[in-house]
Structure 1
Amino acid sequence: MPVATLPPHRHAPSQPPTRPVGARRVVRRLLTLVAAVAVGAGLLVAPAHAAPSVDEIDAQIDKQWEQLEPTIEQYNKIRSQLKANQKKSDDIKKKMVPLELESALAMNRVGDIAARYYMQGPSQEIGALLVSTKPGTLGEQLVILDRLAQEQHKQIAGVLAVRDKYNRQKQKLDALIATQIKQRDELAAKKKQINAEIKRLTAMLPVTSIRPEGCPAIDGVVSSAARTAIKTACAQVGKWYEWGATGPNTFDCSGLTQYAYKAAGISLTHFTGAQWDEGRPVSRAEARPGDLVFFYSDLHHMGLYLGNGLMVHAPRTGKQIQVTKISYMPVAGFRRVT
């Protein structure tokens, strides 16, 4: 009889040895410490965002200024045109006063004749003319009366025509002035918006007031007017830029050149584009001290040339009038006003 075999004995699965509670706490603390070190190391290697340097902020302001200065010079253009057109309008008003008086007197004379004729019949003067001569001359008398009437009519019509001409001119000027006032206000709003950004950037710079280097000695053949303009402009070195200012304490770029040449008895418009047209062109090789030097294709910046590649100019908000090289901006050309 076969012997029954028993199934092999199965041992219960082995269990890991029980770890003491204290050991588990130590492990958790170690893991926490390692994680903290890892995070800290990551923070240490992460790039830090340093505050921009003074030079970087200055470069940002210069970039913003390239957008602002054309707006300022456009503002100066509109303002100078507005001033000229307001003067034209005032001149026309003065010219219209005697014309209006003359036309009113002429119309009164016509009214008086019509009223007398209506109330009294033909005037005594006309009646005397008709009866004081021989009957054969009646035709001549009628011709004379007709010519007198035509002459009076021509005089009245001429006065009214001139008055209407000036009225039409004044209406055009008034419409132009209204348009320019609107443009000026729009430009002022735009300039204010950009200037707010300039002010924000300027506020980040340290407050310093360093008197820039003065003008060099002027060599070569220079007119007396140019010497006066150079002397006047150089006396302003160290004063602050202010948009729209023409001195004597603050200036913008075209305001400085206008102020300098005004001292020499030469009148320039407070606008770079106008000063470009008010001078005669000279090449860079022919440029000499006292010439006006312009920058950028739209002529939105200018200075007074001193020779040897230097100029005196009013740079921008936050900077003082200074002497600097003309090469740091794209030169558009030179103009001579003496």
Structure 2
Amino acid sequence: MASHRRPKQPSRSRVTALTAFAAAAVALSSQSAMAAPDKPNKDEVKAKVDALYGEAEQATEKFDGAKDRQDKLEKEIAQLQDQVARGQLELNDMRNTLGSMASAQYRTGGIDQSLTLLLSNDPQSYLDKASTLQQLSGKQIETIGRIQAKQRSLAQQRQEAAGKLADLDATRKELGEQKKAAQDKLAAAQAQLNTLSAQDRAQLQDEETKADKSAAQSAGKVKGSGRAGAALAAAATQEGKGYHMGSTGPDLYDCSGLTQWAYAQAGVSISRTTFTQVNDGTRIGRSQLQPGDLVFFFDDLHHVGLYAGNGQVLHASHPGPTGGVKYEPMDDMPFQFGVRVG
């Protein structure tokens, strides 16, 4: 016979414990969900990595520009310092000549001692005195005039050198900043790749390798002519070599380093960065492209390659593990315009 005894009600302390346990379970479940978001898939990671490589290239081209300015400034400063040193020697010789003339005349009593004042660093104030001028020969006045001109020239050169030294200091600072920016972007790209499994990374690399081979086969049948064709042929010999910030060959390249090197092999000198290479020839549209023309990509023009025909570009692609000198469809990047050099 069933019992009609009322079931025992849980105590208040038991209810409180159960409630607290349930709340804790919900909180832990919520935290777990927040701590373990959906892992990005292979295509999402590739998109992020490609964007980071692009940002690294932007910094690389700015680095190249700063490096180019640094090299030029160092040469200009060295030339100015050499000019100042030689000018000072010439000034000393002129002063010695004037001193010898003055000494000879003083010994014979033909000139006042005040002439020695003209041998100071600033003889102009004494030249203004008519009594002194009246006692100088035409040759002495000519020598003093040359001394004054040389002093002015040296002062200008020293001032110019000081300005260039200040520019050099600022350029070196920019160089370090752009190098760090590029390295930070590359580190971020590698961190993104590391979120993928080894299988996904291998699959990405396999896909890119197949695409590169297809692009190379499509472009390989095209032959250029003239200096542009010679530049393209030279670049083709570098296929497979790696990408490295600031490098212009012959073992490693960045994008503008490759194009500069390739045209140099064709006997043509072009400037160092994408931002200046855009002005090294005549701008043309896509329908006008011929093999070897420079082709520029992205809104800020931070990437350049050589048109390889059949809609392909030969370029130092990016600094990642699948980058380096290779062929790639132009449609993989936002094309802006071409430049025909010469």
Matches within 5 A, 1:119-134: 122-124=106-108, 126=110
Counterpart of 2:63?
A: 75
> Given the alignment, which residue of 175, 178, 182 partners 1:187?
178
Counterpart of 1:8?
A: none
Is the 8 Å Cα contact of residues 227 and 290 (structure 1) preserved in structure 2? yes
> Given the alignment, which residue of 271, 274, 285 partners 1:272?
274
Change (3 A) 1:51 1:109: same
AA partner of residue 340 (structure 2):
R
AA partner of residue 314 (structure 2):
V
Matches within 5 A, 1:1-338: 16-17=3-4, 51-112=39-100, 116=103, 122-124=106-108, 126=110, 145-204=136-195, 206=201, 210=209, 212-213=212-213, 214=216, 215-219=219-223, 222-318=224-320, 319-320=322-323, 321-338=325-342
Counterpart of 2:116?
A: none
AA partner of residue 62 (structure 2):
Q
| Residue-by-residue CA offset, 1:248-295 (whole Å, 9 max, x unaligned) | 232211111112112112222331111112222223322211100001
Higher radius of gyration, 1 or 2:
1
TM-score normalised to structure 2 length: 0.72
Measure the CA separation in 2 of the matches of 1:175 and 1:250.
32
The structure richer in helix per residue is 2
Is the 8 Å Cα contact of residues 56 and 183 (structure 2) preserved in structure 1? no
Change (3 A) 1:125 1:323: farther
AA partner of residue 229 (structure 1):
A
Measure the CA separation in 2 of the matches of 1:125 and 1:69.
77
1:280 partner SS:
strand
Measure the CA separation in 1 of the matches of 2:269 and 2:296.
18
Structure 1 residue 233 displacement after superposition: 1.5
1:126 partner SS:
coil
Measure the CA separation in 2 of the matches of 1:277 and 1:125.
69
Structure 1 residue 76 displacement after superposition: 0.7
Is the 8 Å Cα contact of residues 87 and 150 (structure 2) preserved in structure 1? yes
- Segments of 5+ residues of structure 2 without an aligned counterpart are 7-25, 112-132
Measure the CA separation in 1 of the matches of 2:110 and 2:179.
67
* Count of paired positions: 284
Is the 8 Å Cα contact of residues 222 and 310 (structure 2) preserved in structure 1? no
AA partner of residue 173 (structure 2):
K
| Residue-by-residue CA offset, 1:65-113 (whole Å, 9 max, x unaligned) | 2322211111111111111121111222233332111101122344556
Measure the CA separation in 2 of the matches of 1:94 and 1:182.
25
TM-score normalised to structure 1 length: 0.73
- Segments of 5+ residues of structure 1 without an aligned counterpart are 1-14, 20-38, 128-141
Counterpart of 1:29?
A: none
Measure the CA separation in 1 of the matches of 2:193 and 2:273.
25
Measure the CA separation in 2 of the matches of 1:49 and 1:179.
44
Is the 8 Å Cα contact of residues 292 and 306 (structure 2) preserved in structure 1? yes
Is the 8 Å Cα contact of residues 243 and 252 (structure 1) preserved in structure 2? yes
1:243 partner SS:
coil
Measure the CA separation in 2 of the matches of 1:55 and 1:249.
31
Structure 1 residue 315 displacement after superposition: 1.8
| Residue-by-residue CA offset, 1:295-336 (whole Å, 9 max, x unaligned) | 122110111012232111122122232212212222221111
Structure 1 residue 243 displacement after superposition: 2.1
Counterpart of 1:26?
A: none
Structure 1 residue 125 displacement after superposition: 8.1
Structure 1 residue 57 displacement after superposition: 1.9
Is the 8 Å Cα contact of residues 293 and 331 (structure 1) preserved in structure 2? yes
Measure the CA separation in 2 of the matches of 1:280 and 1:308.
21
Q: CA RMSD in A?
A: 3.3
Measure the CA separation in 2 of the matches of 1:93 and 1:125.
41
Change (3 A) 1:328 1:147: same
Larger mean CA deviation between 279-288 and 200-209 belongs to 200-209
Measure the CA separation in 1 of the matches of 2:255 and 2:139.
64
